[in-house]
Chains A and B, each alone.
Chain A
Amino acid sequence: MKDINIHVKYLTRVEGHGDIVVNANNGNIEKISLDVIESPRFFEGFMIGRSWNEISHIVCRICGICSVGHSTASIKATEEAFGIIPSEQTITLRKLNLYAEFIQSHILHLYFLAVPDFLNVTSAFKLIPTHPQAVLRGLKLKKLANDFSGVICGRHIHNLSQVVGGYTAIPKKKDLEDVLRRLEEALPDLNETVELLKQLKMPELDRETEYISLQSDNEFALYDGEIYSSDTGRDNHKNYKKYTNEFCVPHSTAKHAKANRDSFMVGSLARVNNNFDKLSPLAKSVASSVGFKAPINNPYYNNVAQLIETAHCFEESIKMLTELTRKGLKEETPKVTVRAGNGVGAVEVPRGILYHEYSYNSEGKLTYANCIIPTGQNLENIELDMKKLVPEIIEKENESEITKKLEMLVRAYDPCISCSTHLLNVDFKK
């Protein structure tokens, strides 16, 4: 019977600061946890009293990777509070911007954060001598996605023109045509990515859980939809607090969340499991070529689900850009009438469902804000996965192999800890 003491300090190749801690004494597991040690930034506190037109520009700064997602959730919450219905063109551009962010984020995660583990190196840059084509392909796809977002909203990190009511600058048709051409030309690179992922062996772990995502009758829901739980079905987005009951845990530094069971999962795997039939044809063919049959209960397959979603976003973007460039774009000026009210914005972002809720007074000053990010929703699920995994491998594998599998597990969720708007510091005696 083994003693192990794993403490991965400052887990790398994730966004934000987290530690993994596992202690086992004579084969008995005494502690398994993912500790969040990120510095708090207090967005929901310091935003109070600020004007409605600043809020989406402030909250996009919660996170560099999902900046567009935060701004989209924020704008939707404010529009609901003010009773604004955006134009069809605005919704098309917002959807395209989300697709660009999904491609950017998933490619960054797959090529630069996840794949190095599978190929036994410490970073993607170590793959330059052995896999130069893969590194260059990853960089090319990431650049394409960043440029795509730049065409829609000025720049991907902390967008410029996407605001309440519409856009302050309409993308140029020529730039959209350019992105469309580059997306079409990059389809072979996407195929190569599928081939690369096929060679990677996902570690084994089977733990059924509750999957929560948005869902819509019309499409694979990212920009809009109702909340869907694989346990209890659909519900209105305004009831989001029923699906994010946040609670404190004595052994970690972040609020955890639960819905109908001890934990639930959000993100690519949850979305693909819940909404497989709404995926684009290309995404479905990628799924079948990598042997993905929904539902899959192995969290390591979140990596695979990200690839399937990347294919979906590619195909949908090409379809929508073709239509948009054919029709042409209209100059539209955002029109906003301020009123007192409350609104909730629910959007799928690369790591899962994101909620922003705001209240405004009659002058349009913020009086209440609540932002619930995907990684916070996943924390409890990650810990329960770790608690299932460690006993299964503790006698078979050595400490460094166990550590690696745990790191890969946490990375598979693509956690974005610096996003964590709600943190708690509870002293833990190690």
Chain B
Amino acid sequence: MKPRVAFFDFASCEGCQLTVINLEDEILDILDKVDIVNFREAISDQSEEYDVAIIEGSITREHDKERLEKIREKAKVVVAIGACATTGGLNALKNLKPLSFIKNAVYGESASYYNSFDKAYPISAFVKVDYFVWGCPIDKNEFLEVFRSILLGKKPEIPNYPICVECRLKENICVFEKGMTCVGPITRAGCGAICPSYGSGCEGCRGYLDNPEINAEKDILKKYGKTVDQITSDINLFNAYREDK
């Protein structure tokens, strides 16, 4: 029997699942190798029986946490895709402010109606995650690498070196040289340094390296006359959950 794959989503933009739907050249091959039994964004069939659960989105409500735990019980393999699921992503920016402030800004007088956790969490805060596909959105090729690895039962090759390595390979001018700030030195590579290649600094959407060289980032900041405070806000953009913890 082909492995049964189910997609699930929580608080997110669904852009990572859309990235999977956008695998126009590969999708027919994927469908040949596995049975996709749950993919609400694209398929009406829904099944409670699956081997691999691929999950997008952050956890922000008790109800979502319970649903996630049920998925973990059923699945043999759990894959977190995208920044919301792997690092908490942008959703965790709300963790840095009191929930009452955030709720009032969005809902005004009706704020008290809404039930939500004070914080947004990556799924690994509640369940064991077997594979991580980083990024906002995920990179197509990295998703395919992880997908293949699961089918073959091998460990996927995910970089554990900083974005700067890829930036140099691309022969980009260092973002700091242009007077901008960048969190590339502490961020996990794998995207091909795509943001610096299009003229902005790395925003850190792929999360920190396993052992980020915080001192290297500090040295670079010093060299360009910038302070840690100046990049705290940049770091928080996608890593607020970790910074707040």
Q: Do A and B come from one complex?
A: yes
Tell me which of A128, A140, A424 has the highest count of chain B C-beta atoms within 10 A of its own C-beta.
Answer: A424
Q: Does B11 contact A (CB under 8 A)?
A: yes
Quick one: closest B residue to A153, CB to CB? B198
Closest to A418 in B: B14
Binding site for B on A (CB under 8 A): 10, 12-16, 38-48, 50-51, 54, 57-58, 61-65, 67, 108, 112-113, 116, 122-125, 128, 139-140, 142-143, 146, 153-158, 160-161, 163, 167-169, 248, 369, 418-419, 421-426
Contact B102 A42 (CB under 8 A): yes
Checking B39, B58, B137 against A157 with a beta-carbon cut-off of 8 angstroms, the contacting residue is B137
Q: Which chain A residue shows the least CB distance to B17? A: A64
How many angstroms from the CA of A328 to the CA of B113 in the assembled complex? 55
The answer, among B36, B113, B115, B136, for a CB contact under 8 Å with A158, is B136
Binary A-proximity of B1-26 (CB < 8 A = 1, otherwise 0): 00000000111111111110110110
Chain B: interface residue total (CB-CB under 8 A): 63
Q: Which residue of A lies closest to B36 (CB)?
A: A125
User: What distance in Å separates the Cβ of B150 from its nearest Cβ neighbour in chain A?
Assistant: 20
Contact A63/B15 with A41-B91, A45-B97, A46-B102 known, Cβ cut-off 8 Å: yes
Nearest A residue (CB) for B236: A50
Picked from A12, A47, A61, A426, the residue with its CB within 8 Å of the CB of B43 is: A12
Min CB distance A329 to B, Å, is 15
Query: What's the minimum C-beta distance from A42 to chain B, rounded to whole angstroms?
Result: 5
A-side contacts of B233, CB under 8 Å: 50-51
- CB contact under 8 A between A124 and B60, given known A45-B102, A160-B198: no
Query: When the two chains form the complex, which single residue of B31, B58, B107 contacts A422, counting CB atoms closer than 8 Å?
Result: B107
| Chain A residues closer than 8 Å to B41, beta-carbon distance | 12-15
Query: Which of B16, B58, B136 counts the most A-chain CB atoms under 10 A from its CB?
Result: B136
Cα distance A337–B149 in the bound complex, in angstroms: 49
**A143 with B97, Cβ < 8 A, contacts A44-B106, A65-B18, A67-B15 known:** no
A143 touches B25 (CB 8 A): yes
In the complex, A124→B43 CA distance in Å? 8
List CB contacts (< 8 Å) of B37-56 with chain A: 39-46
A139 touching B11 in the complex, CB below 8 Å, given contacts A10-B46, A45-B103, A424-B113:
no
- The smallest C-beta distance from B55 to any residue of chain A, in angstroms, reads 13
Give me 21 A-to-B residue pairs in the complex whose CB atoms sit less than 8 angstroms apart, sorted by A's number: A12-B43, A12-B46, A13-B44, A39-B58, A44-B105, A46-B97, A61-B15, A65-B15, A108-B21, A116-B44, A122-B43, A123-B39, A125-B36, A128-B31, A140-B24, A143-B25, A157-B19, A160-B195, A161-B199, A161-B200, A169-B199
Cα distance A154–B197 in the bound complex, in angstroms: 9
Report Cα–Cα, A25/B93, bound state, in Å. 47
Which chain B residue has the least Cβ–Cβ distance from A167?
Answer: B199
Q: Are A42 and B94 in contact (CB under 8 A)?
A: yes
CB under 8 Å from chain A, chain B span 87-126? 89-91, 93-94, 96-97, 101-107, 110, 113-116, 120
Distance in Å: Cβ of A59 to nearest Cβ of chain B = 10
Complex: how many Å from CA A157 to CA B25? 17
Query: Once the chains bind, are A15 and B14 in contact (CB under 8 Å)?
Result: yes
Closest 7 CB pairs of A and B: A64-B15, A168-B199, A45-B102, A160-B198, A45-B105, A39-B11, A46-B93
- B27 close to chain A: CB less than 8 A: yes
Q: Which of B11, B18, B102, B113 contacts A64 (CB 8 A)?
A: B18
> Contact check: which of A41, A64, A122, A419 meets B44 at CB < 8 Å?
A122
A3–B16 Cα distance when bound, in Å, is 41
Other A-B pairs, 5, CB within 8 Å; known A45-B105, A154-B198, A422-B107: A39-B60, A57-B203, A122-B43, A418-B12, A425-B115
Knowing A39-B60, A139-B24, A142-B22, say if A424 contacts B15 (CB, 8 Å). Answer: no
- Which residues from B are CB-within-8-Å of A44? 105-106
Max chain B CB contacts within 10 Å: which of A41, A48, A113, A248? A41
Is B169 interfacial (CB-CB < 8 Å)? no
B242 at the interface (CB under 8 A from A): no
By beta carbon, the residue of chain A nearest B39 is A123
Smallest distance from the beta carbon of A399 to chain B beta carbons, Å?
17
